[in-house]
Chain A
Amino acid sequence: MRFMDRPPPFLFFTGKGGVGKTSLACAAAVQLADQGKRVLLVSTDPASNVGQVFGITIGNKITAVAAVPRLFALEIDPQAAAQQYRDRIVGPVRGVLPDAVVKSIEEQLSGACTTEIAAFDEFTALLTDVTLQKDYDHIIFDTAPTGHTIRLLQLPGAWTGFLDEGKGDASCLGPLAGLEKQRAQYKAAVDALANAAQTRLILVARAQRSTLREAARTHEELAAIGLAKQYLVINGILPDAEANTAGDKLATAVCKREHAAVDDMPEALRKLPTDHVPLKAFNLVGLEALRGLLSGHVATSASISTPVTIPSAPTLTSLVDDLVGNGKNRGHGLIMLMGKGGVGKTTLAAAVAVELASRGHPVHLTTSDPAAHLLETLEGSLENLSVSRIDPHVETERYRQHVLDSKGKNLDEHGRALLEEDLRSPCTEEIAVFQAFSRIIREAGKKFVVMDTAPTGHTLLLLDATGAYHREVARNMGEGAHFLTPMMQLQDVTRTKVLIVTLAETTPVLEAASLQADLRRAGIEPWAWIINNSLAFAHSTSPLLRQRAANELAQIEAVSTQHARRWAVVPLMAEEPVGVERLRRLARH
C-alpha cells in the first residue's frame, strides 16, 4: 500500500461516513505496531467502533490494546466535547436567567460549528504535545478537521479580534470562547498539519462517482490551506474474480460500474498516489481481518458459505400508496428526501416522483445535485412530471456576492475578511439553497413537489427565530396572500413528508438517526425511512455479495424496530436506475 510507505508521525484518514475510514485507520495502526513502531490510534467518530474492532473498551483515555504490542487507542467523542462546552457556558445561568433565554443560548450552540471546533480543540492537544510525540512514533486519526475549521484558525483578523481581547468577531470562533487552548497552540497545530514531514492525509473513497467527487472536493479544500501531502485509497472494490466466477448479473454490473467510476475519476485525484483495497466479505472486526485488509489478499468465494434467510420488507410502492394522501390533502404536498451525501437521495426522489406521476398526479421534481444527469432522462418523459434543478454552487456564490456587495460595502478590510469567512461557513450554502427552494415550495399546495434536499433542523430553528422567513415567504407569494413559513409547513405532516434515506450499514444508520434527532428538535417528525442500495434484497448469487447481504440484516432490523415509523427497502440494482422504467422497478422488489 502506497499510503503506508514511510509514513510521517501523523496520519489522518478522511472521507464520508461508511467508506471505511475507521477500518483503514485500525489496519494501518496494527501494521505499524507489528513493524515495531509505537502507535496511538485516535478515533473522533461519534459512533466509534474502534473498541469493538479490538474487542476492548477504550473511551476518552489512552488505553493499551493488549492483543497488539505497542498499540494504544483513544476515543474522542466530538458530540460529548461539544456538550461539555455547552454545559460550561449554559450551566451557570440555568435557573438564573429565564428558561426561554437559556433555550435560545442552547440552540445557538447546537450547530455543526460548535462540534467541529470542539473536536479540533481536542486534536490540538495531541498534535502539539511534545511528550506524546516522544512516546509514540505515529499518531493515527480516523478523521480530519475540515477546511472551514482550519481557515478559521488561520485567519489573523479573527485571532486578533478574538483571542487578544477575548471577544470574537468571527461567528464560528464563538465556540472557542469556552475552550482553554492558546493561540500559540492552535498555530502550532495548524503548522503541524501543513508540514508534509509531519502529516499525511489519506482520502478514503468508494468506487462510486459521488464519493469520488466528494473526495476531490475535500482534496482541493485541504490542499488550498496547506495540507499538500495527500494520498487516495479507493476502498471496498468488488474483485473482478467475483464477477467472473460467480456469473452473477449483479456482481458483473457492480464491477463494471466501479471500473467506470474509477476511470472517470475527477482530474484532481488522478495525480495522487492511489491504492485500491478490495471488498471483504466480513465486517472488519478482529485482528486477523484487519491484518488481511492491507495485505491485498482477496477473499475467495470458497471461503464463504453462510446461508441466510432474508425477511420480508415493505417496498417503495407501498410507501407511495400512503404518500398520495386522502381527503383535501390528496394529490398534493411537499416530499423531502434527506440523508447524507451518497446515499441516493436524488435517485429515490426521482423514483418517488415517477411513481406519483405514473398514477396521474402532477409532480414537480427538483434537485440540488449538480451531477444529477438522471433527471435529464426524465424531462418530458411523463405527462405529469416536470423537472428543475438548483445549482448549489451558483446559488451560494450569488448569495455570498450579494451579501458582500450590499451589506459589506462599507466595511474596512478587516471587517470584510471576517464577513467573507462567515460566508464560507457550512450554514451559508444551506441557506442559499433553501432560499432557492422556498420559491418552489409554494407550489406544494396544488401538486406534489419532490425535493432531494432539505435544511437541517438547526438551520430552520435559527432562520425561524429571526423571523426573516416570514418576510421572505411574503415577498415570494406577493402582497395580501395568505402564507405559511417554511418552518410551519415542514412541521405540518399533512403538508410535508420527510423521508430519511440511509444505507444498511452501521455508520450511515447512525448518521441518519442523528439527522432525525436534529429534525425532531425543530418539531419535524420524519414520516418514513428508506434503506437504499440493499444487497439483502438484490437476490445476488455471488457468495461475496450474499455474505455482505447477511451483514446488513442487523441494521435493517435496527431501522425497522428502533428508528422508523414507516420504512421501505430499495434493492441495489444491476443497472443504473436511469429513466422511467428502471426507476419504476426500484419501487418494487
Chain B
Amino acid sequence: MPTIQVFESALCCSSGVCGTNVDQHLVDFAADFAWAKQSGATIERFNLAQQPMAYAENAVVKAFLERSGTEALPLILVDGEVALAGRYPQRNELSRWAGLSAVELENAGNCCSGGRCCG
C-alpha cells in the first residue's frame, strides 16, 4: 500500500484554534486524517515545529522549502513523490492515493462528512 506523508507548517495547534480565524481546512483535515487511518491507509502527519528533522532529512521536502518557503506548505508526498502542495487533500484524494477500495469509501459515508465540498 502506498505511503502518504503530509508535511505541515509550524503549527502551535494542529486544530488551528490559536489563530483569530480557526482554519476550517485544518479542522477538517484532522477528521479526514483520522478517517483515512481508520480505513487502513498508511498516512503520517508531520508538524514542522515538532519534527523538523523529518523535513531536513527528506531531499524532496528540503528542496521544496528552499524554493518555496513555509508559505507553500502543506506538502503531500505519496511514496516519496510530490502529490500535492499548498492545500490540504480532500477525502477522495486520500482514498485514491491510498488505494482504498470503493467499498471502504461507501462504508465511510459520503465525501461531505467532514470534507470541504459541502462548505
Contacts and interface: CB of A to CB of B under 8 A. Distances in A.
Contact of A167 (B12, B44, B62): B44
A434 B20 CA distance: 9
A472 B22 CA distance: 12
Given A466-B20, A472-B20, A105 B52 contact: yes
Interface in A359-403: 403
B107 interface: no
Residue from A428, A435, A466 whose CB has the most chain B CB atoms within 10 Å? A466
Residue from A107, A169, A410, A415 whose CB has the most chain B CB atoms within 10 Å? A410
A89 B66 contact: no
Report the interface size class on chain B.
Answer: 35 or more
Q: Say what secondary structure dominates the interface of chain B.
A: loop
Q: Say what secondary structure dominates the interface of chain A.
A: helix
B12 A427 contact: yes
Given A98-B69, A105-B52, A167-B45, A463 B34 contact: no
Interface string B44-64: 110111111101100000100
B110 to A, nearest CB: 12
Nearest to A410: B114
A410 B31 contact: yes
B11 A171 contact: yes
Contacts of A466: 19-21, 23
A168 interface: yes
A423 interface: yes
Contact of A104 (B28, B48, B66): B48
B17 A415 contact: no
A408 interface: yes
Contacts of A135: none
Residue from B13, B23, B30, B55 whose CB has the most chain A CB atoms within 10 Å? B13
Contact of B13 (A90, A171, A468): A171
A49 B15 CA distance: 39
B49 A174 contact: yes
Contacts of B10: 104-105, 107-108
B12 A108 contact: yes
Contacts of A169: 14-15, 30
Interface string B1-20: 00000000111111101111
Nearest to B44: A167
A521 to B, nearest CB: 15
A403 B24 CA distance: 10
A466 B25 CA distance: 13
A6 interface: no
Interface in A121-178: 167-172, 174, 177-178
A414 interface: yes
A472 B56 contact: no
Contacts of B21: 466, 468, 471-472
A411 B51 CA distance: 26
A171 B14 contact: yes
Interface residues of A, number: 52
Contact of A462 (B19, B23, B48): B19
B49 A105 contact: yes
Interface in A82-128: 89-90, 92-93, 96-98, 100-102, 104-105, 107-109, 111, 113
A90 B52 contact: yes
A101 B24 contact: no
A428 B10 CA distance: 18
B105 interface: no
A412 interface: yes
B70 interface: yes
Given A107-B10, A177-B51, A414-B34, A407 B27 contact: yes
Contacts of B113: 410
A45 interface: no
B28 to A, nearest CB: 7
A127 to B, nearest CB: 25
A433 to B, nearest CB: 11
Contact of B17 (A92, A107, A171, A472): A171
Contacts of A178: 50
Contacts of B53: 92-93
Contacts of B84: none
A104 B70 contact: yes
B65 interface: yes
B104 to A, nearest CB: 17
A425 interface: yes
Contacts of B52: 89-90, 92-93, 97, 101-102, 105
B19 A100 contact: no
B105 to A, nearest CB: 17
A148 to B, nearest CB: 13
Contact of B22 (A174, A177, A403): A403
B18 A427 contact: yes
Contacts of B69: 98, 100-101
Contact of A419 (B27, B44, B70): B27
20 contacts: A93-B55, A96-B62, A98-B66, A101-B55, A102-B52, A104-B9, A105-B10, A167-B47, A167-B51, A168-B47, A171-B17, A171-B18, A174-B50, A407-B22, A419-B27, A425-B17, A427-B12, A462-B19, A466-B20, A466-B21
The 9 closest A-B pairs by CB, nearest first: A171-B13, A108-B49, A468-B20, A410-B114, A108-B10, A93-B52, A468-B21, A466-B19, A96-B56
Given A93-B53, A174-B47, A466-B19, 20 more contacts: A97-B52, A98-B65, A98-B66, A105-B10, A105-B48, A108-B48, A167-B45, A168-B47, A171-B17, A171-B18, A172-B13, A403-B22, A407-B27, A422-B15, A425-B17, A425-B18, A431-B18, A431-B19, A462-B12, A468-B21
